[in-house]
Amino acid sequence: MSDHSIRGLYVITARREWDRRDIVACVRLAIDGGARVVQYRDKSSDSLRRLEEATALARVCRERNVPLIINDDPELAHNCGADGVHLGKEDRTIREARALLGPAALIGVSCYDHLERARRAEAAGCDYVAFGSFFPSRTKPDAVRAPLELLQRAREALRVPIVAIGGISPENGRRLIEAGADALAVVEGVFGKEDILAAAQRYARLFRDG
């Protein structure tokens, strides 16, 4: 199991065709603003660019002592030197990912609105679970919605860290932390803003002031 702690602002990269900002520079700003976990998420088929970007991000995150998680792709996580992988319901199993990445890798699992899925993931050896969407999300507008009380039940039932995701803002994030979330996963709320540094600082402040 990794020494990295899953707590605080958990940023997830977003690629937009109209946004030409350099992804590595954007992630640096997010970390400077207080991000404590970075997930590289890119669903494109450009495997060479994905490897180049992920490798560059792994280097930056290593320098800043922030874990880099790769979305959905254990092979890419292995090849770029990331700290772990995040798995959805259509992805590889925890056992398969662990066999490829080793015992020190961070493996997270999307559990949507299902506490039982989280129980099974914990029993299978995951390092953290994620629930959501808790609020309407521009990134995944059709995502299943999770009730706030799910975090409270999960806090009582699980030992692994809990990540909340979906439409989270600096205004509603504190409710999720108080309900039991260890980390808040944010896409548009950070990378969709012109001032990434300031956006990250607003979320990070929720954990310092809580």
Could you read off the pLDDT of 105-114 as tens digits, one per residue?
Answer: 999 999 999 9
Report the Cα 127 to chain-centroid distance in Å.
12
User: 60 and 35 in contact (C-beta within 8 Å)?
Assistant: no
- The reply to whether 33 falls in a domain is yes
- In the predicted model, what is the mean pLDDT of the chain? 93
Lowest mean pLDDT among 3-7, 40-44, 72-76, 99-103: 3-7
User: Is 1 part of any domain?
Assistant: no
C-alpha–C-alpha distance, residues 120 and 82, integer Å: 25
Three-class SS state of 177: helix
Report if residue 168 sits inside a domain. Answer: yes
Q: Which of 176, 122, 170, 129 is nearest to 149 (CA)?
A: 176
- Count of domains forming the chain: 1
Residue 122 lies in a domain: yes
Residues that are catalytic: 41, 110, 140
Q: Confidence band (pLDDT; 50, 70, 90) for 144?
A: confident
Q: What is the pLDDT of residue 18?
A: 53
Q: For residues 90 and 83, what is the distance between their CA atoms, to the nearest angstrom? A: 21
Q: What is the pLDDT of residue 137?
A: 78
Tokens read off for 78: 């292995």
Give the rounded percent of residues in the chain with a pLDDT score beyond 90: 84
Q: How far apart are CA 22 and CA 81, in angstroms?
A: 20
* Residue 2 falls inside a structural domain: no
Residue 166 falls inside a structural domain: yes
- Structural domain of residue 197, as residue ranges? 8-208
Side-chain half-sphere CA neighbours of 143 within 13 A: 22
CA–CA dist 159, 162 (Å, integer)? 9
Asked if 67 contacts 37 with a C-beta cutoff of 8 angstroms, the reply is yes
Banded model confidence at residue 17, pLDDT cuts 50, 70, 90: low
Residue written as token pair 């056992």: 95
* CATH number of the domain encompassing residue 97: 3.20.20.70
pLDDT tens for 53-80 read: 999 999 999 999 999 999 999 999 999 9
Q: What is the DSSP letter of 188?
A: H
pLDDT for 157-189, tens place per residue? 999 999 999 999 999 999 999 999 999 999 999
Look at residue 3 and tell me if it is in a domain: no
